[in-house]
Amino acid sequence: MISYFLLFFITGCCIITYDIAKHTKYKSLASFCILTITIFIVGFRYKVGVDTYNYMYHYADVPLINNIEWNDLFAYNYQPLFLLLSSACKSINSDFYLFQLIHATIVNTIIFSFIRKNTSYTFTGYFIYLTTYFMYFNFEILKESLAVVVFLIGYQQLEKGKLFKFYLYVIIAFLFHISAIITIFFPLIKHLKLNKRFYFTAIGFTIFLAFSYSFLGLFSFWGKLAQKAITYATVAEQSVLNFNWLITQMLIYVIFPFILLITFKKKISSYSCEHIFCFTILLGLGIIEYQIVFSRFINYCIPFIFLCCTNIIGESYRQKTGIKIWKIGLISLFLFIFNYNFLSHNGYSRWYPYYSILNEQINKDREKLWGGFNL
């Protein structure tokens, strides 16, 4: 717990010093220190994160790099590039913590760079990242978080109009995690806006998904992709998810993005993010029918959503106190509900308390939670 609070405290102090007071001395050093602490916390954790248990468990079966054959790349449970990364790390050192450290370095370096390049309120952006999707990306969805950060690099090419280079990054992201298939649609959503056409699109999209189960068989030739989609599509029938979970998803990915878009439409449009908010709402509606599939797709929108929140809060630093409070209050409520999604119903045991490899301890609640997901 101290590790988390230390990271949040340092980042909070930097918000006051650099984002609000606008000092510049040692700003780059402070940014590097926060990144380094973040990487160490993630890389040297001991059984923190429910899905981390799964990766540790399967790591023993990962072949060494010189033993991998061509067929292994497409026959293994992992996507090809994730298998190669895991295998390369294991070939250097069989200890899983080396993989954790390298994974943490890749994911956090790219996300920190993405924030730094796209907002003047760098430390506010870091703080929002660290208090929202940081633990989810680093402790749970290790394969997909690599796909997301590759996509973030590729998105820069899309903004420059370089579609060929963009789709090269899409392919790389897909070879880390199959959910990256959703990124092929990003060039097509640039003109999405909150207007009458969007409302009709949302209604039509929801109706289409309601009748789409019968079409899943058409994708049988996709092999693993279809198998994964069908598994995720039927997970609700296994009582893993419930109605309260669905309501929370609607709040996070449909209602709040809609409220923020209505409230800050001009600002969001000026950040060139209106289409991302609209796309997030569409994907959020998809959760009604395909809970896990579309919640995974939304992960590619999350960094942009919270980057907009960063800029909105950051601009309030220069305005009157009353305006600042309600803006920060609205977005803080959004952040609270986002975290509630993970931390409710004993979900906090996923990431709290924190144990490192220097203090290897077993958390019984976390072990039980992992067992519940892997019956």
Residue 86: which pLDDT band, with cuts at 50, 70 and 90? very high
Give the pLDDT confidence of 100-128 residue by residue, as tens digits: 999 999 999 999 999 999 999 999 999 99
What pLDDT band is residue 219 in, cutting at 50, 70 and 90?
Answer: very low
**Alpha-carbon gap, residue 224 to 86, rounded angstroms:** 20
Residue 338's Cα: distance from chain center in Å?
12
Confidence of residue 339 (pLDDT cuts 50, 70, 90): confident
Confidence label for 55 from pLDDT (cuts 50, 70 and 90): very high
Banded model confidence at residue 323, pLDDT cuts 50, 70, 90: low
Q: Does residue 6 have a pLDDT over 90?
A: yes
Per-residue pLDDT at 188 exceeds 80: yes
The pLDDT of residue 374 is 55
| pLDDT recorded at residue 220 | 45
- Give the 3-state secondary structure of the chain: CHHHHHHHHHHHHHHHHHHHCCCCCCHHHHHHHHHHHHHHHHHCECCCCHHHHHHHHHHCCCCCHHHCCCCHHHHCCCCHHHHHHHHHHHHHCCCHHHHHHHHHHHHHHHHHHHHHHHCCCHHHHHHHHHCCCHHHHHHCCHHHHHHHHHHHHHHHHHHCCCHHHHHHHHHHHHCCCHHHHHHHHHHHCCCCCCCHHHHHHHHHHHHHHHCCHHHHHHHHHHCHHHHHHHHHHCHHHHCCCCHHHHHHHHHHHHHHHHHHHHHCHHHHHHCCCHHHHHHHHHHHHHCCCCHHHHHHHHCCCHHHHHHHHHHHHHHHCCCCHHHHHHHHHHHHHHHHHHHHHHHCCCHHHHCCCCCECCCCCCCHHHHHHHHHHCC
Work out the pLDDT band at 237, boundaries 50, 70, 90. Answer: very low
What pLDDT is attached to residue 343? 77
pLDDT at res. 225: 52
Task: Give the pLDDT of residue 90.
Answer: 94
Q: Which is higher by pLDDT, 125 or 72?
A: 125
Mean pLDDT of the chain: 87
